[in-house]
Structure 1
Amino acid sequence: MPLPVTTQLLMGAGRCVGNTGSAERVGFPQLCLGDAANGVRLADLVTVFPAGITTGATWDKSLMYDRAVAMGKEFRGKGINIYLGPSVGPLGRKPKGGRNWEGFGSDPVLQAIGGALTIQGVQEQGVIATMKHFIGNEQEMYRMFNPFQSGYSSNIGFQGFVMSDWLSHMSGVGSALAGLDMNMPGDTQVPLFGYSYWMYDLTRSVLNGSVPIDRLNDMATRIVATWYRFGQNEDFPPPNFSTNTRDREGDLYSAAWPFSPRGVVNEFVDVQADHHLTARQVAQDAITLLKNDDSLLPLTTARSIKVFGTGAQTNPDGPNACSDRNCNKGTLGQGWGSGTVEYPYLDSPIDALKLRVKDVTFYNTDKFPSVPTVIENDVAIVFLTSDSGKIPKYKNVVVVVHTVGPLILDRWHDLPSVKAILFAHLPGQEAGESLTNILFGDVSPSGHLPYSITKQESDFPNSITTLVTGSGVADDYVEGFRSLTPSGFNKIFRYIYSWLQPDEAKEAVEHRKTRKYDAYPVEYSTQQKSGPRAGGGEGGNPALWDTGYKISVTVQNSGTKYSGKAVLQAYIQFPDGIPYDTPIIQLRDFAKTRVLRPGESQTLELRLTRKDLSVWDVEIQDWVIPEVDGRFKIWIGESSDRLTTVCYTDKLDCELGAKSPVS
């Protein structure tokens, strides 16, 4: 059945959410761009992977990579050249940011490692990754400009292939000279009439000299070089699905409706393979145990289980009933918006529980109903997608939380009846079995929070909890072509072309002769400047990534009953008295063990680079090790509030049982 029509869908010129032009006479096809951060958006026969925030909660580099490999295979299998992910901006600096869940967490190192491994895994499949929205998107409110409201400005420089976000292209010549290489999806801020700031106006700008031909060549070179770099010139499949309909046939150019020719747009290619296993493993290893009084968990299947909360079951209208999942109804497997994927199915918690336990009673309500007499041994499992208040009567309550980010827990966290709390984050399609494996002890929970939870909102500074508001406010981050329409060519309404009419092209060339435009603005220079001190290869000065220290740590399962995994984290504390303002400690690396049986141990290696030991000096604009021979302290533990071992770089020794620098 057709998908609900949205503004974004109307912008599509072809099958994909974004489509470039083509130059097939010289071998360059139309490129297909596709969301989302957790799988192929607006397509069938794909996998809904756990969200980025869930993946970050695993603290497992191998799972981050495996998820990316599986996603890359699905994007390639659907014929998508450019994956619009991973999302590393927003960083999560603002807990109320609407798209934090697409990224990996609020710590820069966790976000960076998750992003890097995702790029690696996706691009190894020959699909181009797009790190978005770089570092400049900490909130959705006022993020985009429109004719009635100017957006806030994120001021960045960037070396590489740059595309605009959807409906965020605001100028023609100015954006071309500033370094924009690809306009996506091509429309102006009002995408109803098929106009663009570029289309034939970019052609006009080149002909009249306001945009130099070398800038146009630079745009094309950056895009085509990337296409070649990932081998998409050889055996890369064309798109075989449509973002606009699930029917086999449909409009070939959806934005041109009702004037579009029709044809086959969906070929129903199944790209799922066994990727559900990877998705389930990520969802399972992300589950975070925040409380387990009286060792209530793991449960036994012999106990009577009472389940409360609509979040335990699939949305009764269907898992994909709400456009872009924009309703909190049923199991919360994803956030909502352009970062969502169509469920092939949703393994709900209640279905998985009923497969495990004979005596399960489900109260499909978010208000506690009248219940029969409670038996002493009964267990109540309460599913929250928001704070539901008190849990009456039951003495053994397990709270399962599906959430996009931190919640205020203090009103119920310490209730005596709440014996266990599990954060399952956003598990994607594999919400059920991944949870019951934890509840009944098949595996031990090994996830860690990828963000901080405070007792109350006021524990954060206002700059963190308050979104940027007001129109036009700035949020600075200082840290060969054809110019004429081919003879006899019939244009399709609202399809964006680069061709001018012959009289328009002649007029543009005349403007060049009269020097109506300068090649570049007066303040613009085409001379290559010497590189910055911090420059170098990809990622800056290659020496920044040299290994400074390696730390080998032996982790042992000191328990006697359960097997499980453990997370190890390394934080750096800079020397006292340095002339730089630094946090008390900063995460620098992490690792996760395999499943360890009781008494079993494993040695993990943590690595600190030269950059990890450096701070950014705003005056010299470079990374600096503040005290080369100073005492750097490297704190080791399972989380920032459980650091018991410290290693000293000046003596190259370690101390066990040290007092943590943070409480």
Structure 2
Amino acid sequence: MAEDETERDETERLLEKLDIGQKVRLLTGASNWRTYGEPAVGLRPLTMSDGPAGVRGEAWDERRTSLVLPSPTALAASWDGELVRELGGLLAAEARRKGVQVLLAPTLNLHRSPLGGRHFECFSEDPLLTARTGVAFVTGVQEGGVAATAKHFVANDAETDRLRVDVTVDERTLRELYLAPFEAAVDAGVWAVMSAYNKVNGVTMSASELLERPLKKCGGGWGFDGLVVSDWGAVRSLLDTARSGQDLAMPGPEGPWAAGLLGAVASGLVDEARIDDKVRRLLRLARRVGALGEPAPAGRALGP
């Protein structure tokens, strides 16, 4: 669902109403699971939630139960895209029941080792099957008016030393294996992508050029127009991440951007045009999930 000309003009009008302090404030989470709202432009907070097999909601509370699907690995093993699409719709209904607008799923990383501690969240070792299943999942969730989040971009396929591990990979392998499922999700219109903890070829993903090309750039890239949200705590520095395609640092309210981004813009170390693009993408996501201006229709829903 691309913005039409009227929506683009409205986004620019809203952006012009915000001063630089308001813009910067929006780019770090307000809490563990929520973003800031901004009444001046009719922006309501976005609530995010794990995860790939269900919608936990904002609290770790066994009294607030959640519908749980079979593991994503089992879903992919069915080779049934329509079933996965329907289950995505079921998760969208569950998300709305819990007040969640952004579901932090699907996980499009690959099964690369039997020691991978989070492989139960992933679909397959095969990039084609992962891509096909991920597209079905994304489509079902977003038809229900909830944003899907393709994660963790990219090559986040191990838990050992996951905050610092540096994945060394040649360009062909990166594109044909690790990036391929994400490209398919972008082609399918996914509204959010999550940057990973790890490094790829020496650069941490929240500062990586891969967030610009191939992810965001048109002409040689995929033209992703959605929001890049960090994995929780993955933005651990200021200038390199602020100058990259990273858009939203989660969680909040503390963090490198909250502490120093406004000053970096004021001193000319970060271009305000960078900030505008990040906020523009946040506003676009908020509109898509009905959190900007008048609430949007909920869309197709399955389940209770």
TM range (shorter): 0.5 to 0.7
- 2:249 & 2:243 partners in 1: Cα distance? 13
Tell me the amino acid that sits aligned with residue 278 of structure 2: M
CA distance in 2, matches of 1:152, 1:272: 36
SS at structure 1 position matched to 2:67: coil
In the TM superposition, residue 87 of structure 1 has moved relative to its aligned partner by: 0.5
Q: How does 1:276-287 map to 2 (within 5 A)?
A: none
Of residues 22, 25, 31, the one that matches 2:46 is 31
Task: Give the secondary-structure state (helix, strand or coil) at the position aligned to 1:163.
Answer: strand
Paired residue type of 1:166: W
Deviations 1:12-44 (A, max 9, x none): 954xx4211121232111111110111111462
Aligned to 1:153: 199
Q: Which residue of 2 is the match for residue 338 of structure 1?
A: none
Q: Does 1:72 align with 2:107?
A: no
1:91-170 aligned within 5 A: 91-145=110-164, 152-155=198-201, 156-157=210-211, 158-159=215-216, 160=224, 161-170=227-236
What corresponds to 1:54 in structure 2?
A: 74
Work out which of the two has the higher radius of gyration on C-alpha atoms and give 1 or 2: 1
CA contact (8 A) 1:76 1:236 kept: no
Shift in alpha-carbon separation, 1:60–1:49, aligned structure 2, 3 A: same
> Structure 1: how far apart are the matches of 2:263 and 2:142?
36
CA distance in 1, matches of 2:153, 2:240: 21
Q: Deviations for 1:425-457, whole angstroms, at most 9, x for unmatched residues? A: xxxxxxxxxxxxxxxxxxxxxxxxxxxxxxxxx
Distance 1:45 1:232 in 2: 25
- The reply to whether residue 206 of structure 1 matches residue 252 of structure 2 is no
Q: Counterpart of 1:126 in 2: which secondary structure?
A: coil
Q: Which residue identity lines up with residue 19 of structure 1 in the other structure?
A: R
Secondary structure, counterpart of 2:153 in structure 1: coil
Q: Is the 8 A contact 1:46 1:272 kept in 2?
A: no
> Partners in 2 of 1:140 and 1:57 — Cα distance?
23
Task: Quote the Cα distance in structure 1 between the aligned partners of 2:135 and 2:65.
Answer: 27
SS in 2 for 1:123: helix
Instruction: Determine helix, strand or coil for the equivalent of 1:228.
Output: helix
C-alpha distance 119-273 of structure 1, shift in aligned 2 (>3 A): closer
Q: Is the 8 A contact 2:43 2:286 kept in 1?
A: no
**Gaps (5+ residues) in structure 1?**
1-11, 187-193, 238-270, 275-663
- Runs of 4+ more than 4 Å apart: 271-274
CA distance in 2, matches of 1:65, 1:76: 17
d(CA) in 1 for partners of 2:254 and 2:143?
36
Distance 2:129 2:254 in 1: 41
TM-score by length of 2: 0.65
CA distance in 1, matches of 2:132, 2:246: 27
1:175 paired with 2:241, answer yes
SS in 2 for 1:211: coil
Take 2:302 and 2:140, find their aligned partners in 1: how far apart are those partners?
A: 16
Q: Which amino acid aligns with 1:27?
A: G
Of structures 1 and 2, the one with the larger relative CO (CA 8 A, separation 6+) is: 2
| Residues 356-367 of structure 1 aligned to structure 2 (within 5 Å) | none
Q: Could you say which residue in structure 2 is the equivalent of 1:247?
A: none
SS in 2 for 1:30: coil
SS in 1 for 2:48: strand
**1:218 maps to which of 267, 273, 277:** 277
Q: CA deviation at 1:45?
A: 4.2
Find the aligned partners of 2:256 and 2:72 in 1 and give their Cα distance. Answer: 34
Shift in CA distance, 272/46, structure 1 to aligned 2, threshold 3 Å: farther
Identity %: 34
CA offsets 1:87-123 (integer angstroms, 9 cap, x no match): 111x102222111111111111111111001100001
Q: Deviations over 1:513-546 (max 9, x none)?
A: xxxxxxxxxxxxxxxxxxxxxxxxxxxxxxxxxx
- Aligned match for 2:295, one of 190, 211, 235: 235
Tell me by how many angstroms 1:236 deviates. 6.4
User: Which residues of 2 match residues 506-655 of structure 1 at below 5 A?
Assistant: none
Under a length normalisation based on structure 1, what TM-score does the superposition of the two structures give? 0.31
Q: Take 2:245 and 2:149, find their aligned partners in 1: how far apart are those partners? A: 16
1:185 Cα shift?
A: 0.7
Structure 2 residue corresponding to 1:185, chosen from 236, 246, 251: 251
Q: Give the Cα separation in 2 of the matches to 1:178 and 1:55.
A: 34
| Partner amino acid, structure 1, of 2:200 | S
1:273, CA displacement in angstroms? 4.5
Cα deviation, residue 230, structure 1: 4.0
Shift of 1:145: 4.0
Matched residue, 1:363:
none
Select 2:107's aligned residue among 87, 94, 97: 87
The aligned residue for residue 20 of structure 1 is: 35
Name the amino acid aligned to 1:182. L
How many angstroms does 1:222 deviate by? 1.1
Q: d(CA) in 2 for partners of 1:226 and 1:272?
A: 22
Residue 196 to residue 180, structure 1, CA distance change in 2 (3 Å): same
Structure with the higher helix share, 1 or 2: 2
Secondary structure, aligned partner of 2:151: coil
SS in 2 for 1:198: helix
The 5 Å alignment of 1:420-459 reads none
In structure 2, the CA distance between the partners of 1:71 and 1:56, relative to structure 1 (3 Å rule), is same
1:85 CA drift (Å): 0.4
Check whether the contact 1:45–1:272 (CA below 8 A) recurs between aligned residues: no
Q: CA deviation at 1:205?
A: 1.3
Deviations 1:75-94 (A, max 9, x none): 122211111000111x1022
- What code does the residue aligned with 1:125 have? G
- CA 1:26–1:139 in structure 2 vs 1: closer, same or farther (change >3 Å)? same
Aligned residue number for residue 197 of structure 1: 256
Q: Which runs of 5+ in 2 are unaligned?
A: 1-28, 166-196, 202-209, 217-223
Equivalent position SS for 2:36: coil
**Equivalent residue letter for 1:169:** V
Written as runs of structure 1 = structure 2, the 5 A alignment for 1:428-507 is none
Match of residue 221 from structure 2: none
